Amino acid sequence: MIGIFAFYLFATLTILSGILVIFARNPVHSVLWLIVAFFNAAGLMLLLGAEFIALLLVMVYVGAVAVLFLFIVMMLDIDFAKLRSGFTRNLPIGLLIALVLLAEMLIAITAANSGPLIGDQPASTAQSNLSAMGELMYTRYLVPFELSGIILLVAMIGAIVLTHRDRGDVRGQKIHHQVRRDPEEAIRMTTPESGKGVEL
Amino acid sequence: MIALVLIVAIVAALVLLGWLIPGVGEFFSTAFWGGAVQGFEAAGMQQDWAYGLGTLIHILLIALPLMLAVAMVIYTERKIWAAIALRRGPNVVGPWGLLQSFADGLKVFLKETIIPSSANKALFLIAPVITFTVALIVWAVIPFDVGVVLADINVGLLYILAASSLGVYGVIIAGWASNSKYPFFSALRAAAQMVSYEVSIGFVIMGVILWAGSMNLTAIILGQQGHVLGLLNGYGFNPLLFPMAVVFFISSMAETFRTPFDLVEAESELVAGHQTEYSSMSFALFWLGEYANVILMCALNAILFWGGFLPPVDWEPLYAIPGIFWLFLKMGIFFFMFGWVKATVPRYRYDQLMRLGWKIFLPLSLAFVALVSGWLMFTRFEGGAL
């Protein structure tokens, strides 16, 4: 009974917060509702018994990605009238994307009933889904796993290269220079005569 | 020196206590903890309800002493800072000033809650609640002894990472909802700092997970029994993991926004950071949450690297002392170190903070993940013969 209650709670909250992401007037509120949606989706994953995925969802999406979203959205200076002005013009594109997503979801739902994805042996319940996932990822799906890793690495390096620019006029702190200095070259002891300063 | 003598004396006293009253350990692990659910079931309750009510009692058994601990810990820390600064510290309210925190709490409780007129009211009030809640929920997976844990889940460490990464939302939302520029700066700093140090914490924890072969915190602690030469309990004694223990200790300070890294509330730059606009109980919730987080980080340091509820040396008589005392002793030592650092180390500049996180800790912890997994591959898995 608790399970059913929890499912409807999480499902309702996911859908509600999903709707509020779109309808919230303030972009920061949108992002916060998105976080609530992520969180409840993680709850649904937990109910499915996929605790590893659920916690990864919270850790990666809620803990890191959404923080950066929030970071950027908070600093945006948005003119709402301007933002709304292109609504009818952009509507066809939006509808097209929505249709594609809907079709994908329908395919996924129908495919889910077509049989197990992995081999024909039934999933053993004794194995924790953490070790089951690890086993699949490092044996059967080793190549896609490594490939996705390389793609992410390339994306990361690309982002760094694109945003990094060398400004010639900045004097950065060079820690190793500071650490390498020793008192002999940094300090000079003098006893200046009275009435005269120290000559540099 | 005096502290060392005191610690030795306390340990000796506990050993004696354990011998004199043989049932102490049992009391803490079973009678005090495990009895609730079975008791309700025996009283004729349905299984669901007995489980629910038993869990509720367990939650209160953790949360209420934790709140008391937060109050006492604030007092202790003020005494530590005072001793380091050659002051007396709180010594007026109650014997030796022991009730100081309660007096402060009462004062804060009786003040008026002020909500700035241009603040985003709902978010402004939710922010301290988030900080406080997140600081509490992480305790669900902390084992105080074998079996004395609220939720003994097999992804406990991941749960801790996930929950502690939520903690930053309290700061960000508070900063944004205050609609004031200093809290806002504080929110931006908190976001960047949290994300940066979470990365190195993740890699450090990876070394521990690889060695223990589990993400369950109880399994991680039990895996440390006799870890070094069959004598010392704790991954921290292992030369391959000791540097990671140090990195984790420093990162945990950054994660809780403690002093060398407390740029989020740097009073010389940002007034009081994200708490600037807060008053009364909403202000107190931030502090309660922060100190609950600090105690949690002390517990994590003790659990991941220094054997948690195991005695430091794998020597039979030491096991007579209940594990919870060992855990508290280790947490106390780490808490002292937190206070010590706060009293002596000056604040980092923001670019230095980022440099330490990204240019030093990240490569170092990444290198140690490779080292540890390589070492385990050759010793435990025979050169990785598939």
- Cβ(B223)–Cβ(B213) below 8 Å: yes
From the list B48, B154, B163, the residue facing A1 with the nearest CB is B48
CB contacts of B51 in chain A (<8 Å) are none
* % of residues, chain A, pLDDT over 90: 17
A145 in the same domain as A63: no
pLDDT in tens, B110-151: 888 888 888 888 888 888 888 888 888 888 888 887 777 877
A64–chain B Cβ distance below 8 A for any pair: yes
Amino acid identity of residue B297, one-letter, is M
Q: What would the mean pLDDT of B375-382 be, rounded to a whole number?
A: 80
A141 in the same domain as A73: no
* % of residues, chain B, pLDDT over 70: 87
Q: Tokens 């006799």 belong to which residue? A: B226
From the list A63, A68, A128, the residue facing B162 with the nearest CB is A63
pLDDT at B94 over 60: yes
CATH number at A34 reads 1.20.120.1200
**What distance in Å separates residue A20's CA from the closest CA in chain B?**
15
A138 in the same domain as A68: no
A136 in the same domain as A115: no
CB contacts of A130 in chain B (<8 Å) are 154-155, 215
A145 in the same domain as A102: no
Residue A179 located in a structural domain: no
Residue A20 located in a structural domain: yes
| Inter-CA distances, B272 with B1, B106, B266, Å | 36, 21, 7
Q: Mean pLDDT for each 10-residue chunk of chain A (200 residues)? A: 83 90 82 89 84 85 84 74 72 90 89 63 64 82 92 93 82 82 83 80
Predicted ipTM beyond 0.85: no
- What's the predicted TM-score (pTM) here? 0.81
Residue A24 located in a structural domain: yes
Residue A190 located in a structural domain: no
The whole-number pLDDT of residue B1 equals 46
Residue A170 located in a structural domain: no
Residue A94 located in a structural domain: yes
| Inter-CA distances, A66 with A35, A78, B174, B176, Å | 7, 19, 16, 15
| Inter-CA distances, A185 with A175, A182, A188, A190, B265, Å | 17, 6, 7, 14, 38
CA distance B221 to B212: 8
A59 in the same domain as A38: yes
Mean pLDDT, chain B, whole residue set = 81
Q: Structural domain tally of chain A?
A: 2
Range of the domain at A159: 127-163
A155 in the same domain as A100: no
| Inter-CA distances, A99 with A110, A113, B81, B90, B260, Å | 17, 22, 63, 66, 52
- DSSP annotation string for A125-168: SSS-HHHHHHHHHHTTTHHHHHHHHHHHHHHHHHHHHHH----T
A115 in the same domain as A137: no
Neighbours of A56 (CB within 10 A): 19
Q: How far apart are the first and last CA of chain B?
A: 53
A100 in the same domain as A27: yes
